[in-house]
């Protein structure tokens, strides 16, 4: 997608040197656009751990490219041990990210087929590119399926701007390209649909205010940043036509774990008869569980993310304390939106209802026989 009118992905093999991986260092967005070059596995491990890159899709792709860097380093050292050690190091960066383990294992299974160091490098480069390409392609398809819904609403409104509310960043910055929740928005905008996006700031880490707003601004899409408290009021006054969010994990029954606060927006959408869609590549499904509220463990994160906020001050990025120093804070990362509040799931294969029957039909090969 566009940054200052130039096309980018979130991660790529550097044009000038195919032994180097370039990423957008997202820690400084929206205030600074910094491209970082990664030369070694340990630099990639650090980039994932320290959240230079984040988001399920992008973390998977980064791990794929990390394994490619591992084969280059292993070639120099003529050692397969280094490849295995790198796999472990990459997997350990963000233990809860399922895409990470999946991408590393996929690379290991491929690389092991190579007979020489050079063959392994070639295989790993191809596989890393494939993983990234698949991620982008799945998001592109989500965009096409989702754009159809936006077009329908646009027709019903006789071309008047479609107001879409989104929470957190399920944008291209969380994937390799397009994003999940944003892909339908980008696609519909590309097709000429008049639209406007309400961007929830998404406390505590403000991924909406910092990342989604930045994406939309660079794409030239009309948008307005709002506090997480505002969506209900907007929905009561018909200022929201649909909600699209991403997902961190979706159960077979259609319950959706996503960034904390998603559930509150789903309740408000339901109370006001507004369609609430969740966009996700199928890798986000957890085929083994049903009841999301009961069975998905919600991570508690560092309370300092609640007590302190980062922002730009005197042209530097600084953090400020917003609570009494001694007041305790609680920091729950995600919540679960029950399937009953969800109008549909937008996946790379199409749109399905958030229930076991429809999900099982669309992804029959993934669902285990009971």
Decide whether 54 or 203 has the Cβ nearer to a second copy: 203
Rounded CA Rg of the chain? 21
Distance CA 331, CA 340 (A): 26
Cβ pair 247, 277 in contact under 8 A = no
Distance CA 5, CA 209 (A): 20
Decide whether 90 or 213 has the Cβ nearer to a second copy: 213
Decide whether 95 or 328 has the Cβ nearer to a second copy: 328
Which H/E stretch holds residue 141? helix 117-156
CB of 113 to a second copy, least distance (A): 45
CB of 29 to a second copy, least distance (A): 8
Decide whether 71 or 163 has the Cβ nearer to a second copy: 163
Decide whether 192 or 311 has the Cβ nearer to a second copy: 311
Decide whether 325 or 370 has the Cβ nearer to a second copy: 325
Residue holding tokens 């600084």?
Answer: 318
Burial of 187 (0-12, 13-18, 19+ CB in 10 A): buried
CB of 74 to a second copy, least distance (A): 41
CB of 181 to a second copy, least distance (A): 16
Cα–Cα distances (Å) from 139 to 107, 280, 325, 330, in that order, read 21, 8, 42, 33
Distance CA 146, CA 148 (A): 5
Binding footprint of a second copy on the chain (CB under 8 A):
30-31, 198-199, 201-204, 206, 209-210, 213-214, 216-217, 223-234, 236-237, 259-261, 263-265, 267-268, 271, 293, 298, 306-314, 318-324, 326-332, 334-336
Distance CA 77, CA 73 (A): 6
CB of 97 to a second copy, least distance (A): 20
Distance CA 246, CA 145 (A): 15
Tokens of 343: 């109008």
Distance CA 279, CA 171 (A): 11
Geometric angle at alpha carbon 162, from 161 and 163, rounded to 5°:
110
CB of 173 to a second copy, least distance (A): 13
Please list the active-site residues. Answer: 248
Cβ pair 293, 256 in contact under 8 A = no
């Amino acid at each position: 997608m566009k940054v200052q009118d130039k096309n980018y992905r979130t991660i790529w093999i550097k044009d000038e040197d195919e032994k180097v991986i370039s990423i957008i260092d997202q820690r400084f967005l929206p205030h600074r656009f910094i491209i970082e070059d990664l030369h070694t596995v340990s630099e990639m491990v650090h980039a994932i751990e320290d959240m230079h890159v984040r988001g399920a899709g992008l973390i998977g792709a980064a791990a794929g490219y990390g394994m490619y860097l591992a084969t280059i380093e292993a070639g120099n050292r003529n050692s397969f041990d280094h490849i295995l050690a790198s796999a472990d190091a990459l997997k350990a960066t963000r233990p809860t990210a399922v895409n990470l383990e999946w991408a590393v294992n996929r690379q290991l299974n491929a690389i092991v087929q190579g007979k020489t160091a050079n063959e392994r490098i070639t295989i790993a480069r191809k596989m890393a590119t494939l993983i990234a390409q698949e991620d982008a392609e799945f998001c592109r398809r989500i965009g096409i399926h989702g754009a159809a819904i936006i077009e329908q609403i646009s027709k019903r409104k006789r071309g008047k701007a479609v107001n879409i509310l989104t929470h957190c960043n399920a944008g291209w910055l969380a994937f390799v390209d397009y994003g999940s929740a944003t892909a339908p928005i980008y696609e519909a905008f590309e097709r000429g649909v008049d639209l406007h996006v309400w961007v929830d700031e998404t406390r505590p880490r403000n991924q909406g205010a910092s990342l989604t707003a930045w994406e939309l601004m660079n794409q030239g899409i009309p948008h307005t940043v709002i506090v997480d408290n505002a969506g209900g009021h907007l929905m009561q006054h018909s200022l929201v036509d649909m909600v699209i969010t991403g997902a961190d994990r979706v159960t077979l029954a259609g319950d959706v774990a996503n960034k904390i606060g998603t559930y509150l927006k789903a309740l408000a959408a339901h109370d006001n008869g507004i369609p609430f869609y969740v966009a996700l590549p199928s890798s986000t499904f957890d085929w083994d569980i049903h009841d999301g509220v009961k069975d998905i463990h919600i991570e508690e994160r560092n309370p300092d993310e609640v007590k302190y906020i980062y922002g730009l001050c005197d042209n530097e990025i600084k953090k400020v304390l917003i609570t009494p120093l001694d007041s305790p804070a609680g920091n729950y990362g995600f919540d679960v939106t029950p399937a009953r509040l969800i109008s549909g799931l937008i996946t790379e294969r199409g749109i399905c209802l958030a229930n076991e029957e429809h999900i099982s039909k669309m992804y029959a090969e993934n669902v285990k026989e009971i």
